Copies of this chain bind each other. A is one copy, B any other.
């Protein structure tokens, strides 16, 4: 696996590959890799001649009181995982190179951030859109791979790509879950054993909603009320940022839960903020618990 540490080094590799007519698949990550990330590499390997990943803990997508400094950094293990998965190139730039002292250019979206996580993390999607655009300029990917777990992020990136004419196909890969249903996340490693058990409430809340919908309840307000009640009864300490049923593209609340609508939620388990989601009508793993 080649490692490019500067935008110029990465761009040089990308230009050479494109001159050779090779297709480039790209998975941007913040490291602390788990099977969710690796599934992106596998998807990229299946569709492209060459696969690149980036590891960059992007400071501009963290709020001032968020976990930028304590975000897990596991570079050695990440490299092994990427190499084993079939990644050809790792783009690993430094923050001071990505954002020099007089940096002042931002990519922002007007409406999509005014939903879900965006309401609780002001500036987050500006940071995400900006860094993904920058990464794309260096990597020049034909296809880019994102995880569905960060559902709003995928919608934001897809819109940015369309609006700015970026000519990269955005692929969204299914959520990878632990055996008991918890969505894989780099932040799961913050959880104590007790919190790890409590964290299951996200998965179980989605399962509850699917059960109710299967039995005929489609009224979003009623479903959301049941979900919130389920959370506060099961994990009274859990702080709910949001529990929502939204349109898959606009992210606006829908009154009726239909196939294609997205159930999305964000909870605090102790000091750890966890998110999960499900597109109604898609497969959802049942009965794997324990």
Contacts and interface: CB of A to CB of B under 8 A. Distances in A.
A81 interface: no
15 contacts: A15-B18, A104-B110, A105-B107, A105-B110, A105-B129, A105-B159, A105-B160, A105-B163, A105-B164, A106-B108, A106-B109, A134-B164, A137-B165, A137-B166, A138-B167
Contacts of A7: 165, 167
Contact of A134 (B129, B138, B165): B165
Contact of A106 (B18, B103, B104, B110): B110
Contacts of A110: 104-106
Interface string A145-180: 000000000000001100111110000000000000
Interface string A129-141: 1100110011000
A15 B104 CA distance: 30
How many copies of this kind of chain does the complex include? 2
Interface in A41-64: none
Bin the interface of chain A by size.
20 to 34
Contacts of A112: 104
Contact of A165 (B11, B104, B109, B160): B11
A167 B106 CA distance: 17
Interface in A18-58: 18-19, 21
Contacts of A130: 164
A189 interface: no
A111 interface: yes
| Ranked 5 nearest A-B pairs via Cβ | A105-B163, A104-B110, A7-B165, A137-B165, A134-B165
